Structure 1
Amino acid sequence: MRILLVGEYSRLHNSLKEGLIALGHEVILMGTHDGFKNYPVDIYINHSFTNKLGHKLKVGVFKLTGIDLGSLEITYKVKNKIKKLPAFDVVQLINEASFSIQPKAELNLLKFLQTKGKKLVVLSCSYDYSSVKFMLNHGFKYSAMTPYLKDQSLLKHYKFKLQYLEKDFVVLHDYIIAHTNGIIATDLDYHLPLVGKSNYLGLIPNPINTDKIDYIPMTIDGKIKIFHGINSYAALTKGNVFFSQALKIIAEKYGDRVAIITTIDMPYVDYIQQYNQCHIVLDMVYAYDQGYNALEAMAKGKVVFTGAEQEWLTYYKIAENTVAINALPNVHNIVDKLSELIEHPEKISAMSVAARAFVEREHHYKIIAQWYLDIWHSN
C-alpha cells in the first residue's frame, strides 16, 4: 500500500511509519517536526511567519483584512507538494486540525487530500471537538479541563482547547464525521468520548518502537531517584502541582533515602540525561491512559506515575499498580504510593520488568501497524 501520514505528535506517526515500512508498505510522512522535539518528516510543511517580525506581520494583516497568511501559505505548500505525487491508498491525519491553521483552511485541505487517496482516516489524538466537549460535560472524573471547570478565570490558558467548540471547528468536525472513512482513537482519553458515535472505528493503542528504546535494568543500591520533569506550558493541564506538593512531603519524610530531581523546561539532551538515571518518573495526573512520554519511560523500565484508571485496567486486563501507578489528583494519595515504593524497593524492580513487557505486548510498533492495516482494509 501507499500511505500518506499527515502531522506528527510525540512520534506517533514516525513509529507507525517504521512499523508499516517493516511490513513492506510505502509511507510518506508530511508535517512539522512537532516543535522543539524535531521529529523527522519526509515533507516539511510550515509557514514562514515564525519569527517575531513575521508573527507581527501575520497578526497585523489578519486584524486588518481577516486573511491569515499562515493558512494561505500552508494550503499552497501542501497542494503544491502533494499534487505532484501519485495517489495514495490511505491518507491519515493526526488530528481534526492537523495543520494548526484556520478551520476553514483545514477543511479545504482535508477535501483536497480526499482527492489524493482512496481512503481518508482521522485520528482522535490530542484535543479535538469530541474530547473537549466530553471533558467540559464532566464525562471524566477528572481531566485536563478540571482546573478550568473549577476556576473560569483560567480562560486565557484554555483558549486553545476551547477553540474546538467554536462554529468553524464544529463544521470541520461534522464534515469529518459525515464524509471520511472514519475516526480512530489513540488511547482511552480519546476513546471514551467517541464510544457509540457514528464513523468511530475504535481504539488502536499508540505504537512504540521498542527496537529503538533500550531497556535500562533497574539497579537500586542507594537512594531511590525520583524524576519530575515540568513543561511550564502544560503544567496546569497535566496536574504537575500535585506532584510538586507531594515531593515536598517525601523530601521531608525520607531525607537522604531519596534523590529528587525536578526540571523546568530543561533542554531535551539534558532532560534525558537526568531522566535515564532515575527509578521513578512522575508523568501526569489528569489522564486515564498513558501518552508517549509515559510509554517511552515504561519501555525503558521506569516506574511511571501517570494515567492508569480502572477503565484502563479493565481494557488491558491487568491488576492495579503492576505496570504503572495511577496518579490521582490527590497529594496524600501520591505520597502514600511513593512511600510504598521507597519502603519496598523490590516492587520497583518488579514493576520495571512488567512495564517493559507491557509496552512490548500491547504497543509494539509492528503489531500496531498491522492493526492499522486491518482497520483500513475493512472500512
Structure 2
Amino acid sequence: MRILLVGEFSRLHNSLKEGLTALGHEVHIVGTGDDFKKYPVDFSIASRVIPSNGLFRFCNKVFKKVFMLDLEALERASRFRKLLPQLKNYDVVQLINSNAIETSPRLAEKLYRKLFAQNNKKFLLICGDETPIVEVLLKNNLKYSVLTPYFDDASNKKYYNYTLSYVGKQQKKLFNFLKSNCDGILVSDLDYKIPMEHTDIDFSLIPNPINTDKLKFSPIKIDSRIIIFHGINKYSSVKKGSAIFLEALSKIEVKYKDKVEIIIVNSLAYDEYQKYLQSAHILLDQIYSFDQGYNALEAMAQGKVVFTGAESEFYDYYQLTDKVAVNALPDVDSIVDQLSFLIENPEELAKMGRNARAFVEKEHHFIKIAERYLENWQ
C-alpha cells in the first residue's frame, strides 16, 4: 500500500511509518516538524520566509493583532498547495489532527478537499486537542482533565487560546467536514477514548506505536544520586501541570539534597531532549491525564519510571496487575510523597522500569500497532 501521513506533533507518525515500512509498505509524511521539536518529515510545509527575517516576524505580529491573520499559517498553506501534485494516488491518507496542515480552518478545508479528491481512503486520528474532545471537557464532568487549570484559575485562560480555538465556529465546521468525509476516526489513548464515549461519533482506539528497536531498554542502576528529569514545553506547561511538578521538586531538593540530582529543561528539540532523558531515572511527564501520552511511553520503553497518567481506568483497560508508571495527581504533597518513597526504596525504581518496558513491548510495539492500523484502514 501507499500511505500518506499528514502532520506530526509527537513522533507518532514517524514510528507508525517505521512499522508500516517494516511490513513492506510505502509511506510518506508531510508536515511542519512541529516547531522547536524538529521531527523528520518527507515533505516539509514549515514556514521559512516569515521566521527568517526580523522585520517579517514583526509584521506577522502586527497582522495577527490587527487583522487576526497569521502570515506563517498562510505560508504553510501555500507550501502544501504547491505539494499537492506530488500527494496523489495514495491508498490511505491519515490526518494526525483536523489542524494537521497548521493553517486556518477555511484554507485547510479547501486543501483537504483537493487532497481527498486525488487519493483513496481518508482517516482522522485524534491524539490531542480536537473539537469533540474540547466540547466534552468544557462540561467539566470528569475528575480532571487538561482543562482543570483553566477551570481552577481564570488567569490561565490565556494559555488555552489554542485549545479553545477548536470550539470556534470555523474549526467546528472543519471538523464536521472531516467527520462526514473521512472513512474512519481513530483515537490513540484513553484520554481521547473517554471523552469520545460522551459523543455520538463512531471511533476506534489504536494505541500509540513505539519503536522499541530504536529506544533501547536500560535497567535502572543507582550508582550515586537518583536523577529526576522534567522537560517543560513552552506551549503546554500549564496543561501538563509543570507548576505542580516544579513546586514538588523544590521540596524534594531540600529534603534529599544529597540523594538526588534534578534536571529541568525548556522546549528542546526532540533529539536534544532524548539525550537528557537517557541519563535520568525518573521522568515527570504530565499530571492531568488518565493514560500515557507519547512522550511518557517513549521514556517507559527505555525503562524510566514516569510520573504520568496511570489511573484505574488505564489499569482496567489493559488488565494490568503490575505497576508500570506512577499516577501523577494534581497535588504537590502527593507528588512529593511518591517521589520520597522511590528515593528511599530505589529497588522499586528498577522493578517499575522493567514493568514499563514489558508493557510497552506488549501493547505499543510499533510493528504490532502498524498491523492494527492496516486492519482498520482496510
The one-letter code matched in structure 2 to 1:276 is Q
The structural deviation recorded for 1:356 is: 0.8
For each residue in 1:37-88, what CA deviation from the matched residue of structure 2 results, as whole angstroms up to 9, or x when unmatched?
2221111113332343223444556778776654544334323322245411
Q: Unpaired segments of 5 or more residues in structure 1?
A: none
CA contact (8 A) 1:71 1:105 kept: no
**Structure 2 equivalent of residue 283 of structure 1:** 285
Checking the alignment, whether the CA contact within 8 Å between 1:178 and 1:199 is kept in structure 2 is no
Q: How does 1:1-379 map to 2 (within 5 A)?
A: 1-47=1-47, 48-51=49-52, 52-58=54-60, 69-195=71-197, 197-265=199-267, 271-319=273-321, 322-377=323-378
- Counterparts of 2:353 and 2:312, CA distance in 1: 20
Aligned 8 A contact 1:182 1:199 in 2: no
User: Counterpart of 2:50 in 1: which secondary structure?
Assistant: coil
Change (3 A) 1:80 1:275: closer
Q: Compared with structure 1, are the counterparts of its residues 150 and 68 closer, same or farther at alpha carbon in structure 2 (3 Å cutoff)?
A: closer
SS at match of 1:256: coil
Q: Deviations 1:194-220 (Å, cap 9, x if unpaired)? A: 126455331111111111111112112
**Residues in 1 aligned to 2:202 and 2:51: alpha-carbon distance in whole angstroms:** 35
* Cα displacement (A) at 1:5: 0.5
Once the two structures are TM-superposed, the CA of residue 170 in structure 1 deviates from its matched residue by: 1.0
- Determine the C-alpha separation between the residues in 2 that align with 1:196 and 1:235: 27
> Deviation of residue 227 (structure 1)?
1.6
Identity of aligned residues (%): 46
Q: Distance in 2 between matches of 1:67 and 1:245?
A: 38
**TM-score where L is the length of structure 1:** 0.92
Contact 2:289–2:308 (CA under 8 A) maintained in structure 1: yes
Cα pair distance change 1:80/1:227, threshold 3 Å:
closer
Structure 1 ranges of 4+ moved more than 6 A: 62-67
| 2:368 partner SS | helix
Question: Do the aligned partners of 1:181 and 1:199 also contact (CA within 8 Å) in 2?
Answer: no
Contact 1:201-1:375 at 8 Å conserved across structures = no
Give the gaps of 5 or more residues in structure 2. Answer: none
- For 1:373, the aligned partner's letter is L
Q: How many angstroms apart in 2 are the aligned matches of 1:255 and 1:124?
A: 42
Alignment length, in residue pairs?
Answer: 376
Give the TM-score taking structure 2 as reference length: 0.92
